[in-house]
C-alpha cells in the first residue's frame, strides 16, 4: 500500500502543475489588473507598481517567477490585503471553511445514510417515493435559495438565530450555514445509499446469508452495509474538498471569513496571487482526498488490492 501511495502522490504532481499553469494563464487573460481602480494613478507610479511585482514582464517570465516562489512554499503577497501574504489569508480562512464543511458533511452522513437505507428497505413503497422526492428537491433547489429563505424565516421573522456573522464559531451562528450548505449533500448521500443498498440486497452473498437463517439486522450490518457504502465513500473525497473550499455563496450570504469569501474578493479585485493560492489549495485538497478515498476502499472491499 505504501508503494501505491507514493506512486499516486508522484502522479499528482503533473496534474497539479497543469492546474497551476492553466489557472495562471487564465488570470492573466482576464481583463483588468490588481492596480486598476477608480482613482487615477500617475503613469510612473503605475509603472513602479507593475515592476515591483514583475507584471511588466512577459507572461511566461511571470509564470517562471511564480513557479520558483511556489517551489519554496511562497504563494506571494496579496495585492489588495495590505501587509498580508496569501499563505496568511488561507491560514486564517481555512479553519472557518473546514469547520463549516465538516459540520455540513457530518449532517449529510448522519441524515442521508439512514434515510437512504430506510428507502432501500422499503423499496417502491410510499415511504421510498416520499424520501426520494424530498432528496430530489434538496438537489434541485440551490443553496443560494435555501440560505436567504432560512435567514428570512429563522432569523428575521422568528428571530431564533442570528442572521449572519461568525462569532468565533458559536453554535447559533453555525446552524443556518450548515443546513444551507449540507442540504444538497444530504440528498446526494441519501440517493446513492438507497441505490447502492438496493443493488447489494439483491446480491447472491446477501441471499446466501438470509438462506442460512441470519436475522435481517445482522445481514444488513455485517454483510450489506460495507459494500453499499462504496459509492458513498467515492463521493466523500470530492465532496469534502468541494464543500470546504466551494462554500463561496454561503460564506458571502452569512458573512463568514472563510477562504471562499477571500476567493470572491480576490476575483473581483483581480488579486492574482490570492485567487491562485485558493485555486492551488483547492486542487491539492481535492487530489489528496481522492487518494484517501482510494486507500479507504481497501478496508471496505477485500477484493481491492494495491499491488
Query: What is the reported pLDDT for 48?
Result: 67
* Pick from 21-25, 52-56, 168-172, 249-253: least confident: 52-56
Percent share of the chain, pLDDT over 70: 88
Query: What is the reported pLDDT for 245?
Result: 66
pLDDT in tens, 144-188: 888 888 888 888 888 888 888 888 878 888 899 999 888 888 888
- Greater pLDDT, 304 or 214: 214
Query: What is the reported pLDDT for 76?
Result: 82
Query: What is the reported pLDDT for 303?
Result: 60
**Averaged pLDDT for residues 108-117:** 89
- Greater pLDDT, 269 or 125: 125
Query: Domains plus CATH for the chain?
Result: 86-300 (1.10.3720.10)
Q: Are 238 and 286 in contact (CB under 8 A)?
A: yes
Q: Are 16 and 280 in contact (CB under 8 A)?
A: yes
Question: Angle between the 272-300 and 2-29 helix axes, to the nearest 10 degrees?
Answer: 150
The CA R_g of the chain, rounded to the nearest whole Å, is: 24
- Could you tell me how many helices (H) and strands (E) the chain has, helices first? 14, 0
Query: What is the reported pLDDT for 284?
Result: 86
The rounded mean pLDDT for the chain is 81
Amino acid at each position: 500500500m505504501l508503494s501505491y501511495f507514493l506512486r499516486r502522490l508522484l502522479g499528482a504532481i503533473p496534474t497539479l502543475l497543469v492546474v497551476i499553469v492553466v489557472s495562471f494563464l487564465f488570470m492573466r487573460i482576464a481583463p483588468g489588473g490588481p492596480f486598476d481602480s477608480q482613482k487615477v494613478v500617475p503613469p510612473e507610479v503605475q509603472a513602479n507598481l507593475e515592476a515591483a511585482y514583475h507584471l511588466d514582464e512577459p507572461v511566461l517570465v511571470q509564470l517562471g517567477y511564480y513557479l520558483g516562489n511556489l517551489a519554496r512554499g511562497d504563494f506571494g503577497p496579496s495585492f489588495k490585503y495590505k501587509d498580508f501574504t496569501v499563505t496568511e489569508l488561507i491560514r486564517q480562512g481555512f479553519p472557518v471553511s473546514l469547520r463549516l464543511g465538516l459540520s455540513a458533511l457530518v449532517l449529510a452522513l448522519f441524515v442521508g445514510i439512514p434515510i437512504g437505507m430506510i428507502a432501500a428497505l422499503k423499496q417502491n413503497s410510499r415511504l421510498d417515493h416520499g424520501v426520494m422526492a424530498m432528496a430530489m428537491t434538496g438537489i434541485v433547489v440551490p443553496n443560494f435559495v435555501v440560505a436567504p429563505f432560512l435567514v428570512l424565516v429563522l432569523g428575521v421573522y422568528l428571530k431564533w438565530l442570528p442572521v449572519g456573522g461568525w462569532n468565533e464559531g458559536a453554535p447559533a451562528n453555525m446552524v443556518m450555514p450548515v443546513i444551507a450548505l449540507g442540504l444538497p449533500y444530504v440528498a446526494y448521500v441519501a440517493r446513492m445509499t438507497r441505490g447502492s443498498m438496493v443493488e447489494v440486497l439483491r446480491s447472491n452473498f446477501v441471499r446466501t446469508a438470509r438462506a442460512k437463517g441470519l436475522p435481517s439486522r445482522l445481514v444488513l450490518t455485517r454483510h450489506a452495509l460495507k459494500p453499499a457504502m462504496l459509492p458513498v465513500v467515492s463521493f466523500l473525497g470530492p465532496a469534502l474538498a468541494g464543500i470546504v473550499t466551494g462554500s463561496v455563496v454561503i460564506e458571502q450570504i452569512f458573512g463568514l471569513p472563510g477562504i471562499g469569501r477571500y476567493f470572491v474578493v480576490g476575483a473581483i479585485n483581480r488579486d492574482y496571487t490570492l485567487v491562485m493560492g485558493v485555486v492551488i489549495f483547492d486542487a491539492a485538497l481535492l487530489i489528496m482526498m481522492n487518494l484517501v478515498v482510494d486507500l479507504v476502499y481497501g478496508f471496505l472491499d477485500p477484493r481491492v488490492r494495491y499491488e
